[in-house]
């Protein structure tokens, strides 16, 4: 059998590369302009290499009884890691994936095709446009993992966007977003203040070293109108290879400080990561 070889292609967002994992026969790392975007094991969709993906998976696992199907809207597609995970862990789920980069979608469809019968629909659209067009109360979970290069686009960081997300969720539904920031956390604090305008409950999942400002890193924001199962998420994230902490309630209020919500006219992208924060190869 021929050894898999790396694939490189110009896509809308830059240069995408698919690099095989030599330790796992059908596993691939997707990068865009050197920034890791997705990791997929075609033989084992339950294998989640990236810590932030595992943390979002914990949210998906806790969103309903084990195995029960969900209606999920994914904003940002990459190599479809989490949609594949959910299709395997919750068969019968209906998933819509929104990805603005048509070139990236073509690359993934060609080299990492979805199996038949997954219930996953992929659409080449802007995330904000698709979210605002989603029927009210149509999703059990919205997963947002949208990065232009290594930054969250500005139009996905505002009060207006957060309210669109809240409108599209069913009662009891959850919004989970992959964000990235470092001390002094101006972006992350402002995002918490922004989502507080649209949701009754917020939680933040991140490694203690990130929360203490020791390094730039990912943080998963969870927002809902009903109280999330903080204890369940805390147990699961603490048991990961790189343990994380769940901030909620008074601790999260202290972290947020006096941050103000961000409206469309004032929105900016998430900060540029320091050199080497996420780059590979």
pLDDT tens-place string over residues 166-194:
999 999 999 999 999 999 999 999 999 99
pLDDT tens-place string over residues 118-146:
999 999 999 999 999 999 999 999 999 99
Question: Helix or strand or coil: residue 49?
Answer: coil
For the segment 222-230, the average pLDDT, to the nearest whole number, is 96
Task: Report whether pLDDT(49) > 50.
Answer: yes
| Residue-level pLDDT at 167 | 98
For the segment 98-110, the average pLDDT, to the nearest whole number, is 96
| Residue-level pLDDT at 275 | 74
| Residue-level pLDDT at 276 | 65
Task: Report whether pLDDT(100) > 70.
Answer: yes
d(CA 47, CA 191): 29
What does DSSP assign to residue 200? S
Using the structure block, give the residue that is written with the tokens 């507080």. 196
- Confirm if 151 and 118 have CB atoms less than 8 A apart: no
| Residue-level pLDDT at 1 | 53
For the segment 76-98, the average pLDDT, to the nearest whole number, is 97
Cβ neighbours around 19 below 10 Å, total: 19
Task: Report whether pLDDT(66) > 60.
Answer: yes
d(CA 157, CA 153): 7
d(CA 203, CA 220): 8
For the segment 106-119, the average pLDDT, to the nearest whole number, is 96
What is the radius of gyration, based on Cα positions, of the chain? 18
277 — pLDDT class (breaks 50, 70, 90): low
Cβ neighbours around 73 below 10 Å, total: 25
- Confirm if 99 and 124 have CB atoms less than 8 A apart: yes
For the segment 45-72, the average pLDDT, to the nearest whole number, is 97
């Amino acid at each position: 059998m021929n050894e898999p070889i790396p694939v490189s292609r110009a896509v809308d967002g830059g240069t995408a590369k698919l690099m095989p994992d030599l330790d796992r026969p059908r596993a691939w790392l997707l990068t865009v302009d050197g920034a890791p975007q997705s990791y997929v094991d075609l033989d084992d969709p339950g294998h989640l290499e990236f810590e932030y993906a595992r943390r979002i998976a914990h949210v998906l696992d806790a969103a309903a009884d084990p195995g029960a199907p969900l209606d999920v809207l994914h904003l940002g597609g990459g190599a479809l890691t989490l949609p594949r995970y959910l299709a395997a862990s919750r068969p019968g789920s209906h998933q819509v994936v929104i990805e603005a980069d048509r070139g990236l979608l073509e690359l993934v469809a060609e080299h990492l095709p979805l199996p038949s019968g997954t219930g996953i629909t992929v659409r080449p659209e802007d995330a904000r446009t698709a979210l605002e067009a989603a029927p009210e109360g149509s999703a059990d979970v919205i997963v947002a993992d949208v990065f232009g290069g290594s930054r969250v686009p500005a139009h996905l960081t505002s009060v207006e966007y957060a309210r669109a997300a809240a409108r599209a969720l069913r009662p009891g539904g959850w919004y989970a977003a992959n964000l990235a920031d470092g001390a002094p956390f101006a972006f992350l604090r402002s995002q918490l203040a922004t989502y507080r305008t649209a949701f009754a409950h917020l939680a933040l999942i991140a490694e203690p070293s990130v929360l203490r400002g020791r390094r730039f890193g990912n943080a998963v924001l969870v927002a809902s109108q009903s109280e999330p199962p903080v204890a369940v998420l805390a147990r699961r994230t603490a048991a990961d290879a790189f343990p994380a902490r769940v901030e909620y309630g008074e601790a999260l209020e202290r972290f947020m400080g006096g941050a103000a919500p961000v409206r469309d006219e004032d929105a900016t992208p998430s900060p540029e990561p320091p050199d080497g924060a996420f780059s590979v190869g």
